[in-house]
Amino acid sequence: MTFYRHPDLPFLEAKQCTADDLAYHKHFHEEYSVGWIERGQTKAWCDGTSMLVEEGRAISFPPQMLHACHPDRGLDWQYQMLFIQPEWLQELEQREMEAIDIPYLLSNGKNEMCRNYIRQIMQQLRQQDNALTIESGLIELLQALTGAEPGDMNHERSYRHDHKYIGRIRDYLNAHFNEKITLTQLEQEMGISRFHLIRLFKQWNHLPPHRYQNVLRINYAKTELARQRPIADIALEAGFYDQSHLTRLFTRMVGVTPGRYSLSI
């Protein structure tokens, strides 16, 4: 697995995966994730929905949408993925005065066009082409992705209709992700019983609060590792017991160790 970045495009990261024995546990990204399967196929789980995603298909996940992938073994699993910071996209939306809505799976025509754009951007990042070329291609990709067509499969976006307590719990976990949090604290903050709290949170997020907190910690670690900071310092800042604790969870969710991730281009 290899990660690519460009010094003049801090809002963009790319990942090339050729590990055919790699499965991802439930997790979410802080970024928009858009990619395509070069070889093989995977059983994809996204926000409570399962489906088969075959070779050649593009797929996307909005920020903080829980998902997991379990590729079929023996099919030479390979894929490419772009991670786009939501702040960059929000600025683009404000200037265009239009919301950019990215479907989960695409119609056949859009799929082929977007797959070619992703492949082109990956190649440009590997070669470290100039930032103007890469960012222009990224905008063309987004223009190709948006606009509803028959055959598109859109995200349900149930998170927009969250129960009032769920938003409050998530806000609290986001603000205190690197601290020791107990159910007693959450119970007092939310004003509901821990039994009701756990049931509601799992119903809407498909994870209990402590696992959601671990995903937040891993996402923080990814940001800091990209800045080439010491892994041990990041582990303590993120709230892990030690570096080995970070390494175990990081490898399970990201697919590589923190050291490998930090050393990627």
Residue recorded with tokens 């209990």: 208
Mean predicted lDDT score pLDDT of the chain: 84
pLDDT of residue 59: 86
Q: Which CATH number fits domain 162-263: 1.10.10.60, 3.40.47.10, 3.40.980.10, 1.10.1060.10?
A: 1.10.10.60
Class of domain 2-145: mainly beta
Query: How many Å apart are CA 38 and CA 116, to the nearest integer?
Result: 11
**Residues 54, 72: Cα–Cα separation, whole Å:** 10
* Cα end-to-end span (Å), the chain: 12
Question: pLDDT per residue over 74-113, tens digit each?
Answer: 667 889 999 999 888 888 766 654 556 666 777 777 888 8
Convert the pLDDT of each residue in 51-71 to its tens digit.
888 898 888 888 888 888 888
Q: Where along the chain do its domains lie?
A: 2-145, 162-263
Strand order in the sheet with 32-39: 2-5, 12-17, 78-84, 32-39, 58-61
The answer, as to whether pTM is greater than 0.75, is no
DSSP per-residue letters across 29-69? -SSEEEEEEEES-EEEEETTEEEEE-TT-EEEE-TT--EEE
